[in-house]
C-alpha cells in the first residue's frame, strides 16, 4: 500500500500539522486567557465580522464599523411617544454623521421593504420589527448634524418594540460593541 518513504513523509507531514496548530507561546496563552477572561475582547474588534448580514453591502458594513468605532462621538436623544418614538442621532464629525445618515436611511428603507439584513449581531427586537414592517409609519428629517426619525404604530406591541429597539441603540451609542456583547451574554443566560 505505502512504501517506507511514503509512510515517513506522511508521518512527518502529520507531525508538522499537529505541531503548527498546537504550539502556542506564553504570550499567546496570556493573550488567549485575557480574551477569555474579558468576554468582550475575544471578538475581532478591528474587522467586526459580526456586522455582515445576508445581503449587506460593503458600504453598509463600513458605515456600521464607523459608527461602532466612533460611538463616543455620537449623541442621541429618544422621546417615547404614546404611539412610538422620536429619535435624533447626530455627531459633529462629518464622516461619522454621514455614516449615521446612511445607516438610518437604509434601515428605514429596509424595514419599509421588509428586507431584513439579518446581521449576525442584530437584536431579536429588530427581527420582530421586520416581522411587523407593515404596521410602522416612519418619517425622516435630515438635520444640520444628523438625522431625526419619528416611527409610530397603531399596534401597542409594535410601539413597545420600537421603544425597546430605541433603547438598545442608545445602549450601543453609549457602550459601542460592549453593549452587543452584554446583550448576547445576558440572552445566553436565559436560553
Tell me: the pLDDT tens digits for 19-63? 443 343 434 433 433 333 334 334 455 555 567 778 888 999 999
Domain-wise residue ranges, the chain = 4-37, 49-189
| Global confidence as pTM | 0.72
Provide CB contacts within 8 A for 162, sequence distance 6+: 84, 85, 129, 136, 151, 152, 153
Better-scored residue on pLDDT, 26 or 96: 96
Q: Which three cell numbers stand for residue 171?
A: 445602549
Amino acid at each position: 500500500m505505502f512504501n517506507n518513504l511514503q509512510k515517513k513523509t506522511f508521518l512527518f507531514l502529520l507531525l508538522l500539522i499537529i505541531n503548527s496548530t498546537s504550539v502556542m507561546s506564553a504570550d499567546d496563552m496570556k493573550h488567549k486567557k485575557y480574551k477569555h477572561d474579558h468576554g468582550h475582547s475575544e471578538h475581532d474588534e478591528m474587522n467586526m465580522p459580526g456586522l455582515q448580514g445576508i445581503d449587506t453591502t460593503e458600504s453598509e458594513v463600513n458605515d456600521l464599523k464607523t459608527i461602532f468605532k466612533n460611538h463616543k462621538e455620537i449623541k442621541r436623544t429618544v422621546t417615547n411617544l404614546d404611539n412610538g418614538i422620536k429619535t435624533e442621532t447626530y455627531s459633529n464629525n462629518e464622516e461619522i454623521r454621514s455614516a449615521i445618515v446612511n445607516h438610518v436611511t437604509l434601515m428605514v428603507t429596509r424595514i419599509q421593504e421588509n428586507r431584513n439584513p439579518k446581521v449576525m449581531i442584530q437584536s431579536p427586537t429588530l427581527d420582530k420589527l421586520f416581522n411587523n414592517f407593515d404596521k410602522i409609519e416612519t418619517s425622516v428629517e435630515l438635520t444640520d448634524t444628523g438625522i431625526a426619525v419619528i416611527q409610530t404604530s397603531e399596534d401597542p406591541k409594535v410601539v413597545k418594540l420600537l421603544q425597546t429597539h430605541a433603547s438598545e441603540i442608545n445602549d450601543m451609542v453609549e457602550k459601542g460593541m460592549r453593549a452587543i456583547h452584554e446583550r448576547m451574554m445576558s440572552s445566553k443566560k436565559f436560553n
